[in-house]
Amino acid sequence: MIYVSREIEANSAGHPKLSRSQIWNGLVMKADNALPFVPGMAKCDVHAALEKLRGLGISGGRGAPEDCALRKVKDMGWFADFSGNRVELVVRPLNSGWRYCASRDAGIKGLAGVMVRSLDIEKDLSIWTDVLGAHVSDWAGDAAYLRFDDAHHRIVLFPASRPGILSVEYDVEDLNLLMRNYYVLRDLQIPVLHGPGRRPTSEQLFLTFSGPTDVLFGFVAAGTTGNAERRRPRQFPAGPAGLCGWGSECKIAEFNNHARRRQSHERSERESLT
C-alpha cells in the first residue's frame, strides 16, 4: 500500500484566519464530497482524458472551432466507447438566465440524465469510472447508475443488443407538473411506455414516453441527492421490478428483455449447482 501526505500551512498571510474546528470541518467536508473543491474541466483536461482513452485502445479527437460554436462551448473532444456510442466532452457550455419555455410550459428545469445502451457493461463502465471520474450509485440487474455530482445519477449504462441512446430525461418542478404532462401526453395519444412511477434506486418520480425515433423521452421529479457517496452501491432486481417501486406497467422492450435474460442466467446457474 502507498501512503501519500502533504503539509499545508494554515492561517498564512493574506488568507482568512480559521480555528482548529473550522479547519477540521473543512477536511471532513472534502472527505465526504470532494467535487466542490475540484476545478471544472479545462482544455488540458480534455487532452488528458483523450490520452488516457488512447491507452485503452479507444480513438477520439478534438472538436474544430465550428463544432464548438455549434454546441456553444469553449472546447470539446469526442470518442466512441466500446459499444460504438459517440461521447462528447465539452468545456464551459453556455448557460442561459432565461427560463426554458416551449409552446407549452411543461415545467422543465433542465436535463436530468441519459440512459445509454451498452453491449458490454464492464468495458464501457471502465471508461466512465477510470477515465471520466464517475461513481456507481446503484445497480438494477446489470444496469449501472453513474453519478458525477449530488444527483443520484446522470448516466445509466443499460444492457442492450445494439448501441445508441435509450432515453433522455428532463427534470420537472414537482409531482403536479409530472402528472399534468402525463395527462397531456395521454390526450395527444403519445404512448406512455413506463410510469407514472417511482424508482427504488433514486426515489425519482418518473414518466417515460415514446419519441419520433427509437430514442425515448422522460420527465422526472424529486429524488434523493447527496447521500449516494456515503454508502455502498445497492443491487436491485433486473427489469421493471427494479425500475419502479409502484409496479407501473412497462412496455419498454430493453427493460423486459433485460429481466428475462437475467432470470434465464440465474436459472441456469441454479441448475448447474444441482
- Whether the per-residue pLDDT at 160 is higher than 50: the answer is yes
Pick from 91, 118, 152: which residue ends a domain? 91
Q: Are residues 65 and 195 in the same domain?
A: no
Instruction: Specify the number of domains making up the chain.
Output: 2
- Whether the per-residue pLDDT at 89 is higher than 80: the answer is yes
Q: Are residues 224 and 178 in the same domain?
A: yes
- The mean predicted confidence, pLDDT, of the chain is 86
Q: Are residues 166 and 207 in the same domain?
A: yes
C-alpha cell at 83: 459499444
Q: Does some domain include residue 207? A: yes
- Whether the per-residue pLDDT at 97 is higher than 90: the answer is no
Task: Give the whole-number percent of the chain exceeding pLDDT 70.
Answer: 84
Q: Does some domain include residue 128? A: yes
Give residue 4's pLDDT band: very low, low, confident or very high (50, 70, 90). very low
Q: Are residues 257 and 124 in the same domain?
A: yes
- Whether the per-residue pLDDT at 188 is higher than 50: the answer is yes
- Whether the per-residue pLDDT at 23 is higher than 80: the answer is no
Q: Does some domain include residue 121? A: yes
More confident residue, 112 or 264: 112
CATH number at residue 65: 3.10.180.10
Which of 76, 67, 79, 168 is CA-nearest to residue 128? Answer: 79
Average pLDDT over residues 95-99: 81
Check residue 215 and report its DSSP letter.
-
Average pLDDT over residues 199-220: 95
**Do 73 and 153 contact (CB within 8 A), yes or no?**
no
Task: Give the whole-number percent of the chain exceeding pLDDT 90.
Answer: 60
Phi, psi of 130 (to 5 degrees): -85, -30
Q: Does some domain include residue 98? A: no
| pLDDT at residue 17, as a whole number | 81
Q: Are residues 159 and 193 in the same domain?
A: yes
Q: Are residues 206 and 70 in the same domain?
A: no
**Do 178 and 219 contact (CB within 8 A), yes or no?**
yes
C-alpha cell at 215: 430514442
Q: Are residues 126 and 235 in the same domain?
A: yes
Q: Are residues 112 and 210 in the same domain?
A: yes
Q: Are residues 73 and 179 in the same domain?
A: no
- Comparing 19-28, 130-139, 217-226, 261-270, the range with the smallest average pLDDT is 261-270
Q: What is the pTM of this model?
A: 0.76
Q: Does some domain include residue 63? A: yes
Q: Which domain holds residue 80?
A: 43-91
Q: Are residues 155 and 234 in the same domain?
A: yes
Give residue 24's pLDDT band: very low, low, confident or very high (50, 70, 90). confident
Q: Are residues 74 and 114 in the same domain?
A: no
Q: Does some domain include residue 23? A: no
Q: Are residues 73 and 197 in the same domain?
A: no
Give residue 239's pLDDT band: very low, low, confident or very high (50, 70, 90). confident
